[in-house]
Chains A and B, each alone.
Chain A
Amino acid sequence: MKLTIGYLYGDLMNIYGDTGNIIALKKRAEWRGIEVEIKNISIGDKLKKGEVDIFFFGGGQDQAQELVSADLLKSGKGKLIKQEVERGMPLLAICGGYQLLGDYYRPHKGPKLPGISMFPAYTLASFDRMIGNIVIQSSAISYQLSDRKQKKSDDRRLTTDDFLVGFENHSGKTYLKKGANPLGLVSKGWGNNGKDKTEGCIYKNAIGCYMHGSLLPKNPKLADWLLKKALETKYGKEILLEPLDDTLELQAHGVAVKKFG
């Protein structure tokens, strides 16, 4: 099997540790004998349907974000990303990338930066800098993420598996529109806007959130969920990923949950 990761604007949007997500996806696929290619898709590049199997979109500096917003609309890539997500292709967007996949980003001054309206959400600039470790309880997908689907009782005790850990650093406040599903609920940190306790957004198999860290290496189940969805969309059948020894990753995860959660 083979997977192509589309790194959206990887040259401009990779502000802090976001490349770690690409490393995690690549290695976890390769360790299972799946061949991986990484395609950087940047300003002016064309993108065709089915050209990549999974999207990653990181955060960037303000200046880069303006260029990218314009390019997403002008080059038609924004429209294609939406179509691909509609047919089940997984996507992970962090911070700036997440913002540009919503309706818009409204800065303090100047015109709104239009997004591609894939996530039912919008972002407003604020004067709060929301910085720190973040721990969320990801009920939206924790059943899907874990292999414990059968234990769907409401009163089951939470385990560290139910949490995602990362580091947020943003001043934009994202608000989910009616009917939007958050990625999870904040147990420590600010999340989307510091008020409503939601963090991130999940639409079909696309996830947007504020969690740097890097996110995927220390949340290996989420990484595998993305890989699984990518392979299933590409090959049109259910895929069972071979389990890996995640001792170190889960210890890193556990330390963060314990220390900050």
Chain B
Amino acid sequence: MRLLFAILLGKLITYLTRILKIGGGSAAPGLYALKIYPSLVEKLSKRIPKSVVITGTNGKTTTAKMLAHFATASGLKVIRNHTGSNLERGIASTLIHGVSLSHPWGGMNRHLGIWELDEAAFNAVAPKLSPDVIVFLNVFRDQLDRYGEINTVLKNWQETLKKIPSGTKVLVNGDDANILRLATSFRGKVQKFGVKDYKIVGEGIVHKKEQENLDFEAKDVKLDGLNSSSFILQTTNYQLPTTLPLPGIYHIYDSLAAFACAFNLGLPVNQFTNSLIHYTPAFGRVEKLGFGYIFLIKNPAGATQVFETIAPNLKPTDTLLLALNDNIADGTDVSWIWDANFEVLQNSSRAKSRDLKLYVSGSRAYELAARLKYAGFDPKNITVDPNLKNAFRQARRNLKGQLFILPTYTAMLELQSILAKSGIKKHYWEEEDRV
């Protein structure tokens, strides 16, 4: 009865937040429902036959979305925390949303749960979800104010893995030496995915030939600007020429992880490549707008990968809008911008990017503007306006080429709302392509 009450309360909060347009109801419903019924996640997730848990610093949302896209195309009904609310409350909110009010005790009519969990939440929440497959994407420095050092993150993951049943399929990034250290803590066998001749070193992905022993491998990689990349996806049984409609090496890792999950779930993976043709990026992750792109930046590794991807494609007429917030979801410590390689943007070969027009915004806009100055941009070309709406308007008004918007997490949410209010796109929780 208490569970039913928790579900009803959660549903009511979702309803109210959406009616009042104060948000998507992706965290608050779960937060309050968990207070009433703490084991809600264990209880409700049991009603879904199969589940996958995805963790790591970067790429969780894209991996989850790609897997969901393929699973749906394969005829499965999927439930997932699609707004990127990846703490226990986000999972609880999603589960509550999935319960049908006409059959609150019945199954959820979903075949597969795909759960992204943040690095810290993983330890408490993953065991509650009894996943069939667990994916470890990578581990980089990110929000030390929240997660602590990389070694601490890894140590906690190792402790959690020791308790995971040996029959669980554990997938690890074989190019990330830190992630590989997890293998010894798991009683079962791990499977590795990776890109041939690439390795993750420090904050970056570098080209490096080395003997690799990968279960899921991308080889013959070709990058095609901001549009796509192509490669051969190789496993013991398959050799699939693949075109990924996303730029950058880092997205190849996400697609390999999604493929490896699909393989372990017994989905018809020879169709995987086909399904990618219709894949659309998660919001804010290489999101294409009529006049440019949005690339989320949130930590040194992820931001540097974004810079490396866009720099070769910048034209002299293009404009950049960067926004740095220091809210809790962004990380209150903005030190990370000094580890992100903004110099890459400045060294773009095609554009005389030193002369690019830059708009800088967010609660720590001046800090970011200073970073750009020290990266080599001329302060004369930098317009600072901490108010994102104003900065966005100015950037669009004077736009000649494409606008590249690089926001941190909460700035990205704010931007989505600005875009929705100005009729450029829908509210993110109303987006049709929710899988």
A contact set with B: CB distance below 8 Å: 14-20, 23-24, 27, 61-63, 131-133, 167, 169, 212-214, 217-218, 245, 247-249, 251-252, 254-256, 259
SS of B interface (majority): helix
CB distance from B346 to the nearest CB of A (A): 12
Q: Which of B131-151 contact A (CB under 8 A)?
A: 141, 144-145, 149-151
CB distance from B37 to the nearest CB of A (A): 30
| Cβ contact within 8 Å between A15 and B367 | no
Contact residues in A for B334 (Cβ distance below 8 Å): 17, 167, 213
The complex places the Cα of A251 from the Cα of B384 at a distance, in Å, of 10
Partner of B366, one of A18, A245, A251: A251
B159 within 8 A of A: no
B274 within 8 A of A: no
Contact residues in A for B366 (Cβ distance below 8 Å): 248, 251-252, 254-255
Partner of B149, one of A15, A18, A131, A167: A15
B15 within 8 A of A: no
B338 within 8 A of A: yes
Q: Which of B141-171 contact A (CB under 8 A)?
A: 141, 144-145, 149-151
Contact residues in A for B369 (Cβ distance below 8 Å): 248, 251-252
Contact residues in A for B374 (Cβ distance below 8 Å): 20, 23-24, 27, 217
Contact residues in A for B364 (Cβ distance below 8 Å): 252, 255
| Cβ contact within 8 Å between B333 and A167 | yes
Q: Contacts A214-B338, A252-B366; is A16 near B141 (CB within 8 Å)?
A: yes
The complex places the Cα of A47 from the Cα of B399 at a distance, in Å, of 53
Contact residues in A for B338 (Cβ distance below 8 Å): 17-20, 23, 214, 217
The complex places the Cα of A131 from the Cα of B332 at a distance, in Å, of 9
B379 within 8 A of A: yes
Q: Mark B344-387, 1 if CB is under 8 A from A, else 0.
A: 00000000000000000001101101110110000100101000
Partner of A217, one of B144, B149, B336, B370: B370
The complex places the Cα of A145 from the Cα of B334 at a distance, in Å, of 25
Partner of B339, one of A19, A63, A252, A259: A19
Partner of A252, one of B141, B145, B333, B367: B367
B270 within 8 A of A: no
Q: Contacts A61-B150, A61-B151, A62-B149; is A16 near B335 (CB within 8 Å)?
A: yes
Contact residues in A for B145 (Cβ distance below 8 Å): 131-132, 167, 169
CB distance from B391 to the nearest CB of A (A): 15
Can you list 28 A-B contacts with CB-CB less than 8 angstroms, sorted by A residue number? A15-B144, A16-B335, A16-B336, A16-B339, A17-B333, A19-B338, A20-B371, A20-B374, A23-B374, A24-B374, A27-B374, A62-B149, A62-B151, A131-B332, A167-B332, A169-B144, A212-B335, A214-B338, A217-B367, A245-B379, A251-B366, A251-B369, A251-B384, A252-B366, A254-B366, A255-B366, A255-B367, A259-B363
| Cβ contact within 8 Å between B336 and A17 | yes
The complex places the Cα of A252 from the Cα of B369 at a distance, in Å, of 8
Contact residues in B for A255 (Cβ distance below 8 Å): 364, 366-367
Chain A residue at smallest Cβ distance from B151: A61
| Cβ contact within 8 Å between B335 and A252 | no
B interface bracket (residues with beta carbon within 8 Å of A): 20 to 34
Contact residues in A for B149 (Cβ distance below 8 Å): 15, 61-62
| Cβ contact within 8 Å between A247 and B379 | yes
Partner of B144, one of A16, A20, A62, A252: A16
B337 within 8 A of A: yes
Contact residues in B for A15 (Cβ distance below 8 Å): 141, 144, 149
Chain A residue at smallest Cβ distance from B144: A16
4 more A-B contacts (CB under 8 A) besides A20-B337, A61-B149?
Answer: A15-B144, A19-B338, A20-B338, A248-B379
Contact residues in B for A214 (Cβ distance below 8 Å): 335, 338
Chain A residue at smallest Cβ distance from B372: A248
CB distance from A222 to the nearest CB of B (A): 14
The complex places the Cα of A18 from the Cα of B144 at a distance, in Å, of 13
| Cβ contact within 8 Å between A212 and B371 | no
The complex places the Cα of A251 from the Cα of B141 at a distance, in Å, of 27
Contact residues in A for B150 (Cβ distance below 8 Å): 61
CB distance from B380 to the nearest CB of A (A): 10
Contact residues in B for A14 (Cβ distance below 8 Å): 339
| Cβ contact within 8 Å between A167 and B335 | yes
Contact residues in A for B363 (Cβ distance below 8 Å): 259
The complex places the Cα of A199 from the Cα of B238 at a distance, in Å, of 60
| Cβ contact within 8 Å between B332 and A20 | no
Contact residues in B for A19 (Cβ distance below 8 Å): 338-339
> Most chain-A CB neighbours within 10 Å: which of B144, B151, B334, B335?
B335
